[in-house]
Amino acid sequence: MGKEMNKETKAEFINFLKKYVQKERQEKFKKVLNERTKYITVVLEDIHHPHNASAVIRSCDCFGIQDAHIIENKYEYDINPFVVKGASKWIDIKKYNKEKNNTLNCINKLKEDGYRIIATSPHASDKDLGDLDLSAGKVALVFGTEETGISNIVKENADEFIKIPMVGFTESFNISVCAAICLNELSNKARKEGINFKLTEEEKAHLTMEWLIKSTRNPKKLEKEFHNRFSSTSKK
């Protein structure tokens, strides 16, 4: 229903929903939305272990990343509720599993939306995470499978490659640890460098509406009630 609303109707619907949600939660929404971003997004390519993907989703929420893109070529992602701790309720998870080449489909969609494809890799020739220029535009961080890393398709279509500097014997971090380090580094960097990374007012309004709906006991009933009221009012 929200997608069909104009700006004015959406504002009325939000005010209508607020009557059914505690003020403390509404204040929490405002606080979280002020730090939310779509400037940085995460892409998980064919993650084999659901708990790893769920841990990344949890990190996205903790670091204010609103969108997560899940590529399902060989493996499907099922949320692990014990790991994700409810974070999936507040994150927009977009799955790519209907095309012959889901990885390329995801990459092309992100590039159309203005994202630079930044592939994570442990190779010594890659750019250090801290040297990534966030001012150059929106960033889509791609993390590959636990066993082999990013696919050749990602390598062929990536705009840049980054690595996390390491000084031990082990070549790479666990994918969920890697994602958490990257998101912490880049989200802090965006704030320190004054990057315009926050949501637009329109995006905030849409998420406010979605989160209010998710916070009510019977959202379908409320949407129907609002629709009936709005239709009656508009006819007068």
Shared-domain flag, residues 96 and 26: no
Sequence-ordered list of residues with C-beta below 8 angstroms from that of 89, at least 6 positions apart, any chain: 214
Residue 130 per-residue DSSP state? G
Sequence-ordered list of residues with C-beta below 8 angstroms from that of 6, at least 6 positions apart, any chain: none
The pLDDT value given to residue 4: 67
Shared-domain flag, residues 222 and 157: no
Residue 88 domain flag = yes
Shared-domain flag, residues 48 and 157: yes
Shared-domain flag, residues 65 and 162: yes
Shared-domain flag, residues 4 and 25: yes
Q: Tell me the three-class secondary structure of 15-75, residue by residue.
A: HHHHCCCCHHHHHHHHHHHCCCECCEEEEEECCCCHHHHHHHHHHHHHCCECEEEEECCCC
Residue 112 domain flag = yes
Strand partners, 43: 69, 142
Residue-by-residue pLDDT tens, the chain, 236 positions: 445 678 888 899 999 999 999 999 999 999 999 999 999 999 999 888 888 899 999 999 999 999 999 999 888 887 776 687 888 999 999 999 998 899 999 999 999 999 999 998 877 567 899 999 999 999 999 998 877 889 999 999 999 999 988 878 777 788 999 999 999 999 999 999 999 999 999 999 999 999 999 999 888 899 888 888 776 565 55
Residue 236 domain flag = yes
Residue 63, amino acid: F
Shared-domain flag, residues 55 and 152: yes
The Cα-based distances of 50 to 20, 26, 79, 176, 200 in angstroms read 34, 31, 6, 11, 32
3-state helix, strand, coil split of the chain in percent (to 5) is 50, 15, 35
Residue 55 domain flag = yes
CB-count burial class (<10 Å; 0-12, 13-18, 19+) for 90: middle
Shared-domain flag, residues 176 and 97: yes
Shared-domain flag, residues 72 and 8: no
Shared-domain flag, residues 109 and 175: yes
Shared-domain flag, residues 145 and 236: no
Residue 136 domain flag = yes
Shared-domain flag, residues 29 and 116: no
CATH value at residue 77: 3.40.1280.10
Residue 198 domain flag = no
Shared-domain flag, residues 44 and 31: no
Residue 173 domain flag = yes
Domain containing residue 158: 38-192
Distance of CA 189 to the CA centre of its chain: 18
Give the count of domains, the chain: 2
Residue 197 domain flag = no
